Structure 1
Amino acid sequence: MTFNQELDEHGTWRKQFALRLKLLAEWLNDHDLMDPAIRERLDQLHAQVKDDRIMVAFVAEFSRGKSELINAVFFAGYGRRIMPASAGRTTMCPTELGYDAEVPPCIRLLPIETRLQPQSLLDWRNAPGKWERVDLDVNDPKQLAKAIQKVAEVRRVTQDEARALGFWNDELPDDNPPLGADGLVEVPKWRHALINMAHPLLKQGLVILDTPGLNAIGAEPELTVSLLPQAHAVVFILAADTGVTKSDLTIWRQHLSALGNTPESRLVVLNKIDTMWDELSSPEQVQLQIASQRSDSADVLGISPTQVLAVSAQKGLLAKVNRDDELLKASRLAELEKALGVGLIGQRRQILQSAVSKGIEALRQDTGRLVRTRTRDIVEQMQELDGLRGKNAGVIKQMRLRIEQEQADFDASGAKIQAVRSVHLRLLRELFALLSSSHLKKEVSALAKALKQPGIKLGVRRAYSETFDRLRADLGSAVRLVGEIQSMLEGSFRNLNAEYGFSLQPPAAPQLESCARDLDQIEKSHLQYLSLGNALRLAQPEFGERLARALMSRLRVVYDSAVNEVELWNKSAASQLDAQLRERRRNFARRIEAVSRIQQAAGGLDERIRELQKQQGELLLLDAKLAELTSALVAGDGVQKPAAVTA
């Protein structure tokens, strides 16, 4: 399949899953099987699939045809270029293309001057009023292309302004933009652009990240330590006629080779193979030249030749617009689309389905436990009532008194259960304190201070090492606390099960070890800035401050994710206990009501036993239906509305 077909199929699966999940939620509500933990898990599963995004980042030095490649792969249906790709017109700022149904079609642009302020890029995302907005007409390709041309806009500033913004370094003259006759320097007008449009692929969850050249990438550390590592695939574009140049190699080594995603998710594209189509060479000779360039590029970059694809984006776009199958085949664009589609989307769906399956299994266990508790209570009631056959009124009265005494004793045990909650909450407070934003800020403060100091930062590598050692130690303490809380839950639930006949089962503990892997990757992505080649850039206090903000922004995402896992774990344990307490109180009320009816009517005993037998049968049907519905969610079968089952 092509990338478009794979993404479309992935989107269809997500929509079907969301519908099944909605039907399951309605069914659980209808049968009084919805408790806070189950609701939380359903919401989490819905958000996990609904908000799933597949980010593909396109990275290249200037004039490699990056924007043209984006046009050819994703926007050829408009019959023209959408991203600026003409000579002299190129993307000057990092640009994200995605879709948010709650935001009208528009392009939002963050002024470059925001680099002079302390907020991170993540902070600016939450301040929409600071972005300039231009509405888009997605049904008018001409207006759309004209509006998106704004990402190519530049400003002319003094050297001092360029230096403050991160585009001029006196120590690295070769990296500086050219100085105009008027003494001014050309810099991007915008720091970041967000394009929101209802393109079919973007609606399916695709996010395209279009990055500018080496200078702009290096000047925006949040791009390389936060956005690029989060991309599910990175497409690195080279020019087929030149292969890997010095600046290409710098981008690869400093910003791409250290990424945490799998090597298979990094594709290298040799673009502009049409420049090698030579009428004086035979087709076979041209193919040999292309194959040789692929092999040489793979050797220089240290990757497999299978990860290097050769295409002509310009000819591919032209072929799609003109429906020229022969030219499209010659452009080899389909090979890239297949690599992106089969490799990226297939891998992404497997990961998502695996995560979803675990959530569904936990949901099945939580709900099934509630059904089994009700079934057990009904069986106990039937046995209790069956023992009253042939008994006189005095025996029945004694049974009622015994049930009322059991109820009173159970109500009086609240202090013991509250003690379990108190110990649990005390340990949880310690755990949340270790994962809090304030604690994280404190741990990173020394490193942030070192980064913001002017001049050559000789001790900054040690500051990084010490900071991440402390963060890993904190995470180790958090893992130990999780283990302690889990052991306490297991012991407490075991005692409550034995004393009150509950069927409590501790939920699976959060796996914070994944956060440790994230910390290692974040540290690795930052170490690229501590190399000798970046020493002069790092000496600028403004750059150091941006690097510190990028670090804090990335770490907050990791810690927030850990907190969310802990909160779900806590809610699952607390809701189980609440549900069993609620069911036990209901059970006492039902038993007393049944005895009262038997006392009032001679035929009440048999009638009540028949009612319980009917409820028992209905609960068996409920359990079977629950298994069917959850199995359909995991298997991804056709969407069918659950058959009505009354209880």
Structure 2
Amino acid sequence: MELIDQHQELLDEVHLIKSKLKPLNLSSDILDKIQYLNSKETYDIAFIGEFSSGKSSIINAILKKDILPTDLNPSTAKITYISYSDEPKIVISYYDDSQKTVEYSDDYIKSLSAQNHELLNDISYIEVFYPFELLKNNIRFIDTPGTNDTDLSRIEITYQILPNVDLIIYTTIYPVTANNLSVFNEHVLGNYFSKTFIVLNKIDLLPDYKLLEEEIIELFTKDQSIAINNVYGISAIDYLEGIFDNDESLIEKSNFISFSESLFEFLKSTEKYSIQNHRFLTLLSEAKRQLKDIVSLKIESLSLPEDIFQQRNDEIKSKLDLYQKNADKMIEDVESEFDRLFNKVNISLDKLISEIIQSIDMIFSSQNIDINLVQKQIELDVRKKFEFWNDRNKNLISNYIESIYKEINARLGEAKLQMKAALAVVSNNQLSSFAMQNSHASANVPTLDEKKSGLMLSFASVGGYALMASAGLALAPAAILIMPIGTYFLHKQKLLQAAAIKDDVINKIQIASIDFKKEIISNLSSSKDNIIHHIKERLHNYIDEITKQLKIVEHDRKKMQEEIDSQIVELNDLLSLL
């Protein structure tokens, strides 16, 4: 069968099922999504990754134009769409549904960075129109806020658009963080993207990125059915500099052309339509699976005698209430575990700051102190201590957070399986035997305390600073400590004696350490927020949908007793399609 015929057959099936849902007061967000994805005019490519992973730089490099703001700190605060137009312009859409069109300017776009809070407060999203040849055939790039942004509302913006895009360029740097993998599993694989370009950016900072490719592929494919054959190691910055400076050696060193040519070839091929069809089929299968549970529940509930229905309905409500409490308990456990983690991190950071202050004191205690070299000595010492702690402990917190993810996923899977078993008692379908066979699938999963006690002990004994792997902070936190020192020496070095300078420098470090610690805890909090979001998505939504359908069934039984037989016939007709 031709690709276009397969596509039309799939859409016809979606339309048929939806036509039978509406009279029965049923709906499916997934079927709505398939129809939306099919109807939209643009082929949307979203660039996803943690902040400072270089998403905006990669877009700039692909388009060979430095248009989007880039920074070590979060720079993309709003979804930014980049589309083709003969007439360059920028369209700003506001939350009140108004729009403003301004003349295209690189400087104006860069002024809309995450640091410009006042200007961004009322903006919903930004559209950039420019005559980029690559985007001519309705291809649209989407730049997104970082998935570990400290502003949860900005992360939410990214998650909301992902189900409605056609292709994802997933950007990471080394080391790959636990949060990074979690976002990939939940929001890329969870939205049924079978084709994803994974880009390892900033290879200019790595001694030999080729040695890391196999490790990264294994991380992204571990326990997953997706096949990833290639990770594109690139340096977007080197490529841009090479283009602008006409430096062929820098362009070659960046390895960017290998990635861009693969992307261009994919966009020109029919493979993108085949991938889209595969995703639609997967979505349709998931929609039918979900609807089958709900429809079977409604059929049996409408068919039961009133007394038996009330008894089973009360039992299910009781179980759903219990599952809701279990979900809330999971969230409490996550909060508690992260509180423990934050406490240990704060203790270790206090130790780090104390060691830095002791080292500064020793520098100034030297009899042969050269006041002109003190600043460099202090900065070098801060960086060395920072890097030593990172190298020694970078996997500890990452493993700790990963163990929380795995524990919660196991508990979510078990809770959902038990819910299905409870529903099967009412609907008398084949799910019962499956649920009984698998009801203890997660019984041997260690508890949070059992799994993490060793990790926490190691973390406490080392006192380590292991946040690079879990939060992707690069060297930004060290800069928080170093910058006030540089500013101080710039203005005060020649005015004071060594003793006075020492006291002032230590005071600056102590003040800066407050923001230093806040920055780190804030980044760790994004992992906690992601886990809680995951619980709500996986369990709360499922419980809410079942509860909603039970209420509809109760209403139907009271209001339309005489029509129950005809509804059962219609529902069985629908069930035969699923």
Q: Compute the TM-score of the two structures, normalised by the length of structure 2.
A: 0.48
- Report which structure shows greater RCO (CA 8 Å, sep ≥6): 1
Q: Compute the TM-score of the two structures, normalised by the length of structure 1.
A: 0.44
